[in-house]
Amino acid sequence: MSSKLEKDVAWESSILGIFYKQLFVHPKPILSTIQLSGQTAIITGANSGLGFEAARQLLHLGLSHLIMAVRSKIKGEAAASKLRSEFPSTKIEVSIVNLSDYDSITEFAKRCRDLEHIDFAILNAALQNSKFEKNDNTGHESVFQTNYLSTTLLVLLLSSIMKEKKHRHGTREPPVLTVVGSDTMYLSKFEASGPVFPRMDNPAPYAKIKQYMDSKLLLMMFVAQLADEISPEDIIINVSNPGLTAGTSLGKDDEKPGFMERYIVPIFIHALGRSTQVGASNYIHALVEEGRESHGSFVSDWAIKPYPALMYKKEGRNMIERLWQETTEELKSIGVDTLFQR
Ligand SMILES: NC(=O)c1ccc[n+]([C@@H]2O[C@H](COP(=O)([O-])OP(=O)(O)OC[C@H]3O[C@@H](n4cnc5c(N)ncnc54)[C@H](OP(=O)(O)O)[C@@H]3O)[C@@H](O)[C@H]2O)c1
Protein backbone atom coordinates (compact mmCIF):
# COMPACT_ATOMS: atom_id res chain seq x y z
CA MET A 1 0.00 0.00 0.00
CA SER A 2 1.28 3.49 -0.84
CA SER A 3 0.60 4.65 2.72
CA LYS A 4 3.35 2.32 3.96
CA LEU A 5 6.00 3.31 1.42
CA GLU A 6 7.22 6.63 2.75
CA LYS A 7 10.76 5.23 2.90
CA ASP A 8 10.84 4.98 -0.91
CA VAL A 9 9.66 8.51 -1.66
CA ALA A 10 13.07 10.13 -2.09
CA TRP A 11 14.18 7.77 -4.86
CA GLU A 12 10.80 7.31 -6.54
CA SER A 13 10.15 11.03 -6.81
CA SER A 14 13.68 12.05 -7.85
CA ILE A 15 14.39 13.00 -11.46
CA LEU A 16 17.06 10.29 -11.56
CA GLY A 17 14.58 7.72 -10.22
CA ILE A 18 11.97 8.71 -12.81
CA PHE A 19 14.51 8.51 -15.67
CA TYR A 20 15.80 5.16 -14.40
CA LYS A 21 12.31 3.66 -14.34
CA GLN A 22 11.54 4.97 -17.81
CA LEU A 23 14.63 3.33 -19.25
CA PHE A 24 15.28 0.21 -17.21
CA VAL A 25 12.03 -1.03 -15.64
CA HIS A 26 10.06 -3.27 -17.98
CA PRO A 27 6.45 -4.56 -17.98
CA LYS A 28 5.53 -7.57 -15.92
CA PRO A 29 3.61 -10.03 -18.10
CA ILE A 30 -0.02 -10.50 -17.08
CA LEU A 31 -0.62 -13.89 -15.43
CA SER A 32 -1.69 -16.41 -18.05
CA THR A 33 -4.63 -17.45 -15.83
CA ILE A 34 -6.29 -14.03 -16.19
CA GLN A 35 -9.24 -14.26 -18.51
CA LEU A 36 -11.93 -11.59 -18.75
CA SER A 37 -14.71 -13.35 -20.60
CA GLY A 38 -18.16 -12.38 -19.32
CA GLN A 39 -16.77 -9.07 -17.97
CA THR A 40 -17.59 -5.46 -18.81
CA ALA A 41 -15.25 -2.47 -18.83
CA ILE A 42 -15.62 1.28 -19.31
CA ILE A 43 -12.72 3.39 -20.57
CA THR A 44 -12.89 7.17 -20.88
CA GLY A 45 -10.89 8.78 -23.67
CA ALA A 46 -10.80 5.38 -25.38
CA ASN A 47 -10.69 6.82 -28.89
CA SER A 48 -6.98 7.57 -28.91
CA GLY A 49 -3.57 7.18 -27.28
CA LEU A 50 -3.31 5.14 -24.11
CA GLY A 51 -7.07 4.71 -23.70
CA PHE A 52 -7.38 3.07 -27.10
CA GLU A 53 -4.43 0.78 -26.44
CA ALA A 54 -5.81 -0.18 -23.01
CA ALA A 55 -9.08 -1.13 -24.72
CA ARG A 56 -7.20 -3.39 -27.09
CA GLN A 57 -5.31 -5.07 -24.23
CA LEU A 58 -8.50 -5.78 -22.28
CA LEU A 59 -10.05 -7.25 -25.44
CA HIS A 60 -6.99 -9.47 -25.89
CA LEU A 61 -7.68 -10.80 -22.38
CA GLY A 62 -11.12 -11.89 -23.56
CA LEU A 63 -13.29 -9.01 -22.28
CA SER A 64 -16.91 -9.50 -23.41
CA HIS A 65 -18.29 -5.96 -23.32
CA LEU A 66 -16.42 -2.68 -23.81
CA ILE A 67 -17.87 0.81 -23.41
CA MET A 68 -15.71 3.42 -25.09
CA ALA A 69 -16.65 6.63 -23.28
CA VAL A 70 -15.61 9.50 -25.54
CA ARG A 71 -16.58 13.10 -26.19
CA SER A 72 -16.73 12.83 -29.99
CA LYS A 73 -19.11 10.35 -31.58
CA ILE A 74 -17.20 10.46 -34.88
CA LYS A 75 -13.80 9.80 -33.28
CA GLY A 76 -15.30 7.16 -30.99
CA GLU A 77 -17.00 5.25 -33.83
CA ALA A 78 -13.81 5.38 -35.94
CA ALA A 79 -11.82 3.87 -33.07
CA ALA A 80 -14.57 1.34 -32.26
CA SER A 81 -14.72 0.11 -35.84
CA LYS A 82 -10.99 -0.69 -35.75
CA LEU A 83 -11.49 -2.73 -32.58
CA ARG A 84 -14.67 -4.39 -33.88
CA SER A 85 -12.81 -5.66 -36.93
CA GLU A 86 -10.05 -7.06 -34.70
CA PHE A 87 -12.48 -8.54 -32.12
CA PRO A 88 -15.68 -9.31 -34.08
CA SER A 89 -17.36 -11.40 -31.37
CA THR A 90 -17.07 -8.75 -28.63
CA LYS A 91 -19.73 -6.19 -27.84
CA ILE A 92 -18.07 -2.78 -28.33
CA GLU A 93 -20.17 0.32 -27.71
CA VAL A 94 -19.47 4.03 -27.96
CA SER A 95 -21.03 6.24 -25.29
CA ILE A 96 -20.70 10.01 -25.09
CA VAL A 97 -19.22 11.74 -22.06
CA ASN A 98 -17.76 15.22 -22.16
CA LEU A 99 -15.73 16.02 -19.09
CA SER A 100 -16.15 19.73 -19.71
CA ASP A 101 -19.79 19.41 -18.80
CA TYR A 102 -21.23 18.08 -15.51
CA ASP A 103 -24.60 17.32 -17.17
CA SER A 104 -22.90 15.13 -19.76
CA ILE A 105 -21.21 13.20 -16.92
CA THR A 106 -24.42 12.64 -14.97
CA GLU A 107 -26.22 11.59 -18.18
CA PHE A 108 -23.42 9.12 -18.91
CA ALA A 109 -23.65 7.71 -15.38
CA LYS A 110 -27.42 7.25 -15.81
CA ARG A 111 -26.78 5.15 -18.91
CA CYS A 112 -24.22 3.09 -16.96
CA ARG A 113 -26.96 2.23 -14.44
CA ASP A 114 -28.62 0.20 -17.19
CA LEU A 115 -25.63 -2.09 -17.58
CA GLU A 116 -25.96 -5.43 -15.90
CA HIS A 117 -22.56 -5.20 -14.22
CA ILE A 118 -19.40 -3.13 -14.53
CA ASP A 119 -16.26 -5.03 -13.61
CA PHE A 120 -13.60 -2.49 -14.59
CA ALA A 121 -13.37 1.22 -15.26
CA ILE A 122 -10.35 3.17 -16.49
CA LEU A 123 -10.79 6.93 -16.08
CA ASN A 124 -8.12 7.89 -18.58
CA ALA A 125 -9.40 11.07 -20.30
CA ALA A 126 -7.36 14.17 -19.45
CA LEU A 127 -5.59 17.06 -21.09
CA GLN A 128 -2.82 19.61 -20.96
CA ASN A 129 -3.46 23.13 -22.12
CA SER A 130 -0.84 25.64 -23.24
CA LYS A 131 -3.09 28.58 -22.44
CA PHE A 132 -5.18 29.47 -19.42
CA GLU A 133 -8.81 28.88 -20.38
CA LYS A 134 -11.97 28.97 -18.33
CA ASN A 135 -14.66 26.37 -18.71
CA ASP A 136 -17.78 28.24 -19.92
CA ASN A 137 -20.15 26.03 -17.92
CA THR A 138 -18.44 26.06 -14.54
CA GLY A 139 -16.04 29.01 -14.54
CA HIS A 140 -13.15 26.77 -13.47
CA GLU A 141 -9.83 26.59 -15.32
CA SER A 142 -10.19 23.90 -18.00
CA VAL A 143 -7.37 21.48 -17.00
CA PHE A 144 -8.44 21.62 -13.35
CA GLN A 145 -12.02 21.07 -14.51
CA THR A 146 -11.30 18.05 -16.71
CA ASN A 147 -8.45 16.31 -14.91
CA TYR A 148 -9.69 16.88 -11.37
CA LEU A 149 -13.25 18.14 -10.84
CA SER A 150 -15.03 16.24 -13.59
CA THR A 151 -12.94 13.13 -13.02
CA THR A 152 -13.78 13.11 -9.30
CA LEU A 153 -17.48 13.47 -10.12
CA LEU A 154 -17.24 10.49 -12.46
CA VAL A 155 -15.26 8.49 -9.87
CA LEU A 156 -18.00 9.06 -7.30
CA LEU A 157 -20.88 8.28 -9.64
CA LEU A 158 -19.31 5.19 -11.20
CA SER A 159 -17.93 3.77 -7.96
CA SER A 160 -21.35 3.94 -6.36
CA ILE A 161 -22.96 2.23 -9.39
CA MET A 162 -20.25 -0.44 -9.57
CA LYS A 163 -20.55 -1.18 -5.87
CA GLU A 164 -24.34 -1.44 -6.03
CA LYS A 165 -24.21 -3.78 -9.02
CA LYS A 166 -21.59 -5.95 -7.32
CA HIS A 167 -23.92 -6.47 -4.35
CA ARG A 168 -26.98 -7.02 -6.52
CA HIS A 169 -25.17 -9.78 -8.42
CA GLY A 170 -23.47 -11.22 -5.36
CA THR A 171 -20.14 -11.24 -7.21
CA ARG A 172 -17.30 -12.36 -4.96
CA GLU A 173 -14.47 -10.33 -6.49
CA PRO A 174 -14.84 -6.56 -6.15
CA PRO A 175 -14.92 -4.44 -9.31
CA VAL A 176 -11.87 -2.24 -9.93
CA LEU A 177 -11.78 1.40 -10.93
CA THR A 178 -8.44 2.93 -11.84
CA VAL A 179 -8.00 6.67 -12.28
CA VAL A 180 -5.14 7.58 -14.56
CA GLY A 181 -2.63 9.77 -12.80
CA SER A 182 0.92 10.73 -13.60
CA ASP A 183 4.28 10.44 -11.87
CA THR A 184 4.71 14.14 -12.70
CA MET A 185 2.68 14.63 -9.50
CA TYR A 186 5.94 13.86 -7.66
CA LEU A 187 7.37 17.06 -9.14
CA SER A 188 4.44 19.27 -8.12
CA LYS A 189 5.42 22.14 -5.83
CA PHE A 190 1.84 22.92 -4.80
CA GLU A 191 1.87 24.82 -1.48
CA ALA A 192 0.00 22.93 1.22
CA SER A 193 -1.44 25.94 3.01
CA GLY A 194 -4.51 27.89 1.94
CA PRO A 195 -7.62 27.10 -0.09
CA VAL A 196 -6.95 24.91 -3.12
CA PHE A 197 -9.56 25.83 -5.75
CA PRO A 198 -8.78 29.57 -6.05
CA ARG A 199 -5.14 28.74 -6.76
CA MET A 200 -6.05 26.19 -9.45
CA ASP A 201 -8.35 28.78 -11.04
CA ASN A 202 -5.80 31.58 -10.90
CA PRO A 203 -4.74 32.85 -14.35
CA ALA A 204 -1.43 34.24 -13.11
CA PRO A 205 1.00 32.65 -13.01
CA TYR A 206 -0.24 29.88 -15.33
CA ALA A 207 2.11 27.24 -16.75
CA LYS A 208 0.97 24.24 -18.79
CA ILE A 209 3.04 21.53 -17.08
CA LYS A 210 2.63 22.98 -13.61
CA GLN A 211 -1.18 23.00 -13.93
CA TYR A 212 -1.13 19.44 -15.23
CA MET A 213 1.15 18.10 -12.41
CA ASP A 214 -0.90 19.91 -9.79
CA SER A 215 -4.17 18.50 -11.17
CA LYS A 216 -2.71 14.97 -10.96
CA LEU A 217 -1.48 15.56 -7.39
CA LEU A 218 -4.99 16.61 -6.35
CA LEU A 219 -6.43 13.53 -8.01
CA MET A 220 -4.08 11.26 -6.03
CA MET A 221 -5.04 13.04 -2.80
CA PHE A 222 -8.74 12.69 -3.55
CA VAL A 223 -8.51 8.97 -4.38
CA ALA A 224 -6.44 8.24 -1.25
CA GLN A 225 -9.06 10.00 0.88
CA LEU A 226 -12.00 8.36 -0.90
CA ALA A 227 -10.44 4.92 -0.42
CA ASP A 228 -10.55 5.49 3.33
CA GLU A 229 -14.33 5.85 3.06
CA ILE A 230 -14.92 2.75 0.92
CA SER A 231 -14.22 -0.90 1.64
CA PRO A 232 -12.06 -2.68 -0.96
CA GLU A 233 -14.54 -5.53 -0.58
CA ASP A 234 -17.10 -3.28 -2.33
CA ILE A 235 -14.86 -1.73 -4.95
CA ILE A 236 -11.12 -1.29 -5.38
CA ILE A 237 -10.06 2.21 -6.43
CA ASN A 238 -6.50 3.08 -7.33
CA VAL A 239 -4.48 5.53 -9.42
CA SER A 240 -2.38 4.15 -12.28
CA ASN A 241 0.45 5.79 -14.17
CA PRO A 242 1.53 4.87 -17.69
CA GLY A 243 4.79 6.80 -17.42
CA LEU A 244 6.04 9.14 -20.12
CA THR A 245 4.60 7.73 -23.34
CA ALA A 246 5.35 8.68 -26.92
CA GLY A 247 2.87 8.84 -29.78
CA THR A 248 -0.20 10.19 -28.01
CA SER A 249 -1.91 13.57 -28.45
CA LEU A 250 -1.26 14.77 -24.90
CA GLY A 251 0.15 18.31 -24.77
CA LYS A 252 -0.08 18.84 -28.53
CA ASP A 253 -2.70 21.57 -28.41
CA ASP A 254 -0.39 24.48 -29.19
CA GLU A 255 -0.99 25.74 -32.74
CA LYS A 256 2.18 27.83 -32.70
CA PRO A 257 4.66 25.86 -30.61
CA GLY A 258 7.88 27.60 -29.61
CA PHE A 259 11.39 26.20 -30.14
CA MET A 260 11.30 23.98 -27.01
CA GLU A 261 7.91 22.44 -27.85
CA ARG A 262 8.71 22.01 -31.52
CA TYR A 263 12.24 20.53 -31.29
CA ILE A 264 13.44 19.74 -27.76
CA VAL A 265 10.35 18.15 -26.18
CA PRO A 266 9.83 15.64 -29.07
CA ILE A 267 13.49 14.54 -28.86
CA PHE A 268 13.15 14.11 -25.09
CA ILE A 269 9.93 12.10 -25.47
CA HIS A 270 11.41 10.01 -28.26
CA ALA A 271 14.47 9.20 -26.13
CA LEU A 272 12.66 8.40 -22.88
CA GLY A 273 9.05 7.71 -23.80
CA ARG A 274 7.43 4.31 -23.71
CA SER A 275 5.26 2.89 -26.48
CA THR A 276 1.49 3.09 -25.90
CA GLN A 277 1.51 -0.71 -25.52
CA VAL A 278 3.96 -0.53 -22.63
CA GLY A 279 2.34 2.55 -21.05
CA ALA A 280 -1.19 1.10 -21.20
CA SER A 281 -0.02 -2.21 -19.73
CA ASN A 282 0.36 -0.31 -16.44
CA TYR A 283 -3.41 0.32 -16.43
CA ILE A 284 -4.13 -3.36 -17.01
CA HIS A 285 -1.70 -4.29 -14.25
CA ALA A 286 -3.51 -1.91 -11.86
CA LEU A 287 -6.86 -3.46 -12.82
CA VAL A 288 -6.15 -7.16 -12.72
CA GLU A 289 -2.91 -7.83 -10.83
CA GLU A 290 -2.62 -5.73 -7.67
CA GLY A 291 -6.01 -6.45 -6.06
CA ARG A 292 -7.09 -5.10 -2.67
CA GLU A 293 -3.51 -4.06 -1.73
CA SER A 294 -3.76 -1.30 -4.35
CA HIS A 295 -6.88 0.30 -2.83
CA GLY A 296 -6.20 4.05 -2.52
CA SER A 297 -2.66 3.55 -3.83
CA PHE A 298 -0.48 4.72 -6.68
CA VAL A 299 0.34 1.95 -9.19
CA SER A 300 3.24 2.75 -11.47
CA ASP A 301 5.95 0.77 -13.23
CA TRP A 302 3.92 -2.40 -12.57
CA ALA A 303 4.07 -2.09 -8.78
CA ILE A 304 2.55 -0.13 -5.89
CA LYS A 305 4.55 3.06 -5.32
CA PRO A 306 4.63 5.75 -2.61
CA TYR A 307 2.53 8.87 -2.51
CA PRO A 308 4.26 12.21 -3.07
CA ALA A 309 6.20 13.32 0.05
CA LEU A 310 3.64 15.99 0.95
CA MET A 311 0.94 13.38 1.56
CA TYR A 312 2.90 11.87 4.48
CA LYS A 313 3.24 15.23 6.24
CA LYS A 314 0.81 16.91 8.61
CA GLU A 315 0.39 19.91 6.31
CA GLY A 316 -0.31 17.53 3.41
CA ARG A 317 -2.99 15.72 5.43
CA ASN A 318 -4.56 19.06 6.31
CA MET A 319 -4.56 19.99 2.64
CA ILE A 320 -6.29 16.70 1.77
CA GLU A 321 -9.04 17.55 4.27
CA ARG A 322 -9.44 21.02 2.78
CA LEU A 323 -9.47 19.61 -0.75
CA TRP A 324 -12.13 17.10 0.26
CA GLN A 325 -14.27 19.87 1.74
CA GLU A 326 -13.91 22.14 -1.28
CA THR A 327 -14.70 19.23 -3.61
CA THR A 328 -17.76 18.26 -1.57
CA GLU A 329 -19.04 21.83 -1.74
CA GLU A 330 -18.48 22.05 -5.50
CA LEU A 331 -20.33 18.80 -6.15
CA LYS A 332 -23.14 19.70 -3.73
CA SER A 333 -23.61 22.92 -5.69
CA ILE A 334 -24.48 20.81 -8.75
CA GLY A 335 -26.84 18.57 -6.78
CA VAL A 336 -24.46 15.67 -6.05
CA ASP A 337 -24.38 15.35 -2.29
CA THR A 338 -25.52 11.92 -1.19
CA LEU A 339 -22.47 10.22 -2.67
CA PHE A 340 -20.27 11.41 0.15
CA GLN A 341 -22.43 9.68 2.76
CA ARG A 342 -21.39 6.09 2.51
N1 LIG B 1 1.32 10.43 -22.63
C2 LIG B 1 2.04 10.49 -21.50
O3 LIG B 1 3.28 10.65 -21.51
C4 LIG B 1 1.35 10.35 -20.18
C5 LIG B 1 2.13 10.24 -19.01
C6 LIG B 1 1.50 10.11 -17.76
C7 LIG B 1 0.12 10.10 -17.71
N8 LIG B 1 -0.62 10.22 -18.86
C9 LIG B 1 -2.08 10.20 -18.73
O10 LIG B 1 -2.61 9.22 -19.61
C11 LIG B 1 -3.95 9.57 -19.98
C12 LIG B 1 -4.13 9.45 -21.47
O13 LIG B 1 -3.31 10.39 -22.11
P14 LIG B 1 -2.74 10.19 -23.59
O15 LIG B 1 -1.28 10.44 -23.50
O16 LIG B 1 -3.25 8.95 -24.21
O17 LIG B 1 -3.34 11.49 -24.29
P18 LIG B 1 -4.37 11.68 -25.50
O19 LIG B 1 -3.94 10.87 -26.68
O20 LIG B 1 -4.46 13.16 -25.67
O21 LIG B 1 -5.73 11.10 -24.95
C22 LIG B 1 -6.53 11.84 -24.09
C23 LIG B 1 -7.95 11.38 -24.23
O24 LIG B 1 -8.75 12.17 -23.34
C25 LIG B 1 -9.86 12.67 -24.06
N26 LIG B 1 -10.37 13.91 -23.48
C27 LIG B 1 -9.71 15.07 -23.30
N28 LIG B 1 -10.54 16.00 -22.81
C29 LIG B 1 -11.75 15.43 -22.67
C30 LIG B 1 -13.04 15.87 -22.25
N31 LIG B 1 -13.26 17.11 -21.87
N32 LIG B 1 -14.07 14.97 -22.25
C33 LIG B 1 -13.88 13.70 -22.66
N34 LIG B 1 -12.69 13.22 -23.11
C35 LIG B 1 -11.65 14.08 -23.11
C36 LIG B 1 -9.34 12.89 -25.47
O37 LIG B 1 -10.43 13.01 -26.36
P38 LIG B 1 -10.26 13.72 -27.81
O39 LIG B 1 -9.54 12.75 -28.68
O40 LIG B 1 -11.66 13.98 -28.23
O41 LIG B 1 -9.46 14.98 -27.58
C42 LIG B 1 -8.52 11.61 -25.64
O43 LIG B 1 -9.35 10.54 -25.98
C44 LIG B 1 -4.17 10.97 -19.40
O45 LIG B 1 -4.85 10.86 -18.17
C46 LIG B 1 -2.77 11.48 -19.17
O47 LIG B 1 -2.73 12.46 -18.17
C48 LIG B 1 -0.04 10.34 -20.08
Mean pLDDT over residues 40-50, rounded?
98
Ranges 58-67, 158-167, 299-308: which has the least confidence: 158-167
Q: Is the CB of 135 under 6 A from ligand 1?
A: no
The Cα–Cα gap between 60 and 174 comes to: 21
Mean pLDDT over residues 21-45, rounded?
93
Q: Is the CB of 215 under 6 A from ligand 1?
A: no
300 bridge partner residues: 241, 303
Query: What's the pLDDT at 338?
Result: 60
Pocket of ligand 1, candidates 43, 127, 182, 269: which has the most ligand atoms within 8 Å of its Cβ, to mutate? 127
Show Cβ contacts of residue 228 under 8 Å, excluding neighbours closer than 6 positions: 296
**Phi first, then psi: what are they for 131, rounded to 5°?**
-115, 150
DSSP alpha helix (H) spans, 170-207 = 197-200
CB 54 within 8 A of CB 284: yes
Which position among 163, 165, 216, 305 bears the catalytic label? 216
Catalytic-residue membership of 283: no
- Please report, for the chain, the start and end positions of each structural domain, with discontinuous segments joined by +: 2-335
The Cα–Cα gap between 322 and 318 comes to: 6
Distance 194 CA to ligand 1 centre (A): 29
Q: Is the CB of 127 under 6 A from ligand 1?
A: yes
Mean pLDDT over residues 57-73, rounded?
97
Which position among 212, 283, 305, 307 bears the catalytic label? 212
**Atom 21 (ligand 1): residue with closest C-alpha?**
49
The CATH number of the domain covering residues in 2-335 = 3.40.50.720
Q: Is the CB of 245 under 6 A from ligand 1?
A: yes
DSSP alpha helix (H) spans, the chain = 9-12, 15-24, 49-60, 73-86, 102-113, 142-143, 151-169, 197-200, 208-229, 259, 265-272, 276-288, 314-333
Q: Which atom of ligand 1 is nearest to the CA of 98?
A: 32
Q: Is the CB of 76 under 6 A from ligand 1?
A: no
Torsion of CA 329, 331, 337, 339, to 10 degrees: -120
Q: What is the pLDDT of residues 273-332, one digit of tens each?
A: 999 999 999 999 999 999 999 999 999 999 999 999 999 999 999 999 999 999 999 999
Distance 49 CA to ligand 1 centre (A): 7
**Phi first, then psi: what are they for 193, rounded to 5°?**
-85, 150
Confidence of residue 265 (pLDDT cuts 50, 70, 90): confident
Q: Is the CB of 128 under 6 A from ligand 1?
A: no
Catalytic-residue membership of 216: yes
**Atom 22 (ligand 1): residue with closest C-alpha?**
125
CB 307 within 8 A of CB 298: yes
Distance 111 CA to ligand 1 centre (A): 22
Confidence of residue 169 (pLDDT cuts 50, 70, 90): confident
Q: Is the CB of 146 under 6 A from ligand 1?
A: yes
Position with higher pLDDT, 279 vs 166: 279
Query: What's the pLDDT at 342?
Result: 46
